[in-house]
Structure 1
Amino acid sequence: MMGGNDQQAYDRGTSLFSPDGRIYQVEYAREAVSRGAPSLGVRTADGIVFVAMSRATSTLMESESIEKLHKLDDHLGTASAGHVADARQLIDLARRQSQGNRLRYGEPVGVETLTKFVTDHIQENTQRGGTRPYGAALLIGGIENGEPRLFAADPSGTPNEWKATVIGGGRQDIQGVLEEEWEEGLSLAEGIELGVRALAAHEEEFVPGDLAVATVTEAEGYRTVPESEVSEAFEAAGLAGDEDDDETSADDDGTDETDADGDGE
């Protein structure tokens, strides 16, 4: 049996495999992501839909300062979950690479190419000493050669392409709704409605103002969806629009969450 000191050595090492083939720090980084508020992406016939829980943790907080969705380029967007500061570093990296591709080659970067560039960078932090894995996950979606594509990047640096997926807290419940209800040929409006309904499987009480929604299409590029359109999706999904008066609290560790159970923002 492995001694306690040996176990702790594998636990502390950011680039050491345990005897059973695990890298504990990567698993802890995934746990940080699961404690964050959920963000999901849906691929539709017309483009990509991002929906993220973006509720302020205090009445004194400016809701505009909570950033879960980001524009990477005219044809690219991303959603994040986990430690906000880690996510911002990856988002800035993706933006620089996208801009550099336009300057160097005179054309927009591909969705898959950009995703693999970011995940290669993430993976490097799992095999070098003196660093730690990023405690954040990203959804990267956009238009490539006229077709919508959606990828997810987790703390291990693994890129996977999805039709619809979620990162952050409540993944099992939300992913279950997406797997059950996603279908080919969804419109953008239906994609937003599906995203709202899927989040309701994890978060029972929320209002349109608690969500951040964006779309990426070939015609309009990256677009932030106004609250009025989100409200229409709520009505179409059959969700009540009553205000949630429950008090929320936030941990101070920099993870975009509202309580210790992982019901985050």
Structure 2
Amino acid sequence: MMGGNDQQAYDRGTSLFSPDGRIYQVEYAREAVSRGAPSVGVRTADGVVFVAMSRASSTLMEAESIEKLHKLDDHLGTASAGHVADARQLIDLARRQSQGNRLRYGEPVGVETLTKFITDHIQENTQRGGTRPYGAALLIGGIEDGEPCLFAADPSGTPNEWKATVIGGGRKEIQSHLEEEWTEDLSLSAGIELGVAALAAHDDEFVPGDLAVATITEADGYRTVPGDDVADAFEAAGLTTEDADASDAEDADDDDADTADDEE
């Protein structure tokens, strides 16, 4: 029977398989991603849509400083979930590779090619001593040969192509909604509505200002969707701000009651 010290050795090692074939540090990194705010990617007939929850954790925080969606190149974008610092390192790597491809070959890098470059780098950190897996996951989407493509990269370094998927918290409910509602002929606006509605399947107490939305099309490239358009998609998805406002009012009442108790 294996002793406790032996089990701890497999737990602490970043590149050791346990006897049952698990790498615990990779599983812990996946858990870090699952605790992050969710980001949804949807492939439509016209392009790729990213919808990310970017709610500020404090009223004193500048909402614009929360970055969940990033432009990698004119035809490429990414959404992140998990540890922000880890995600930023991967995003910087993806940008350098994308620009390097243009300088070397005079053409944009392929979506799949870039994804596999990033996942190869992620995988190396599950295999070498002195490092730890990245506690972040990425959705990488863009246009390749005139067609929209969407890939996901997780902390194990596995690249998978998707029609629609989610990274971060609430994956079970959000992915279930995407599987039920996604269709091949989705328009770009319908893809935004689907992404918003999918997030609501996990958490319906948010307002349009809590979302970051971006699209990637052949005609316009990477584009951040304005707040007014996000609000329109919010309403088109059948959502209202009444529930969120009611929840905020209840929280304010509770705060007033606590203050009164403290004064007494």
**Both proteins in one fold, TM over 0.5:** yes
Aligned to 1:71: 71
Q: Distance in 1 between matches of 2:144 and 2:39?
A: 22
| Deviates further, 36-45 or 238-247 | 238-247
Aligned to 2:262: none
SS of equivalent to 1:42: strand
Aligned to 2:142: 142
Aligned to 2:62: 62
Preserved CA contact (<8 Å) 1:119 1:159? yes
4+ runs deviating over 6 angstroms: none
Q: Distance in 2 between matches of 1:230 and 1:84?
A: 24
Q: Distance in 1 between matches of 2:198 and 2:119?
A: 27
Deviation of the 1:91 alpha carbon:
0.2
5+ residue gaps in structure 1?
248-265
Aligned to 2:258: none
User: Quick check: 1:19 aligned with 2:27?
Assistant: no
Aligned to 1:158: 158
Q: Distance in 1 between matches of 2:83 and 2:207?
A: 24
TM-score w.r.t. structure 2 length? 0.92
Deviation of the 1:13 alpha carbon:
0.1
SS of equivalent to 2:103: helix
Aligned to 1:5: 5
Aligned to 1:46: 46
Aligned to 1:127: 127
Aligned to 1:100: 100
Q: Distance in 1 between matches of 2:23 and 2:163?
A: 29
The one-letter code matched in structure 2 to 1:119 is T
* 1:2-34 CA-partner distances (Å, limit 9, x unpaired): 110000000000000000000000000000000
Q: Distance in 1 between matches of 2:40 and 2:240?
A: 21
Q: Distance in 2 between matches of 1:240 and 1:205?
A: 9
- Which one has the largest radius of gyration? 2
Aligned to 2:255: none
SS of equivalent to 1:55: coil
Deviation of the 1:148 alpha carbon:
0.2
The one-letter code matched in structure 1 to 2:27 is E
Preserved CA contact (<8 Å) 1:234 1:241? no
Preserved CA contact (<8 Å) 1:126 1:156? yes
1:23-42 matches, cutoff 5 A? 23-42=23-42
Aligned residues: 247
Aligned to 1:179: 179
5+ residue gaps in structure 2?
252-264
Q: Distance in 1 between matches of 2:204 and 2:145?
A: 38
Q: What is the RMSD computed on CA atoms of the aligned residues?
A: 0.9
Larger fraction in helix: 2
TM-score w.r.t. structure 1 length? 0.92
- Larger RCO (alpha carbons 8 Å, 6+ apart): 1
Q: Distance in 2 between matches of 1:44 and 1:241?
A: 27
Deviation of the 1:235 alpha carbon:
1.0
Q: Distance in 1 between matches of 2:103 and 2:176?
A: 41
* 1:81-123 CA-partner distances (Å, limit 9, x unpaired): 0000000000000000000000000000000000000000000
Aligned to 1:239: 239
The one-letter code matched in structure 1 to 2:221 is G
Aligned to 1:170: 170
SS of equivalent to 1:36: coil
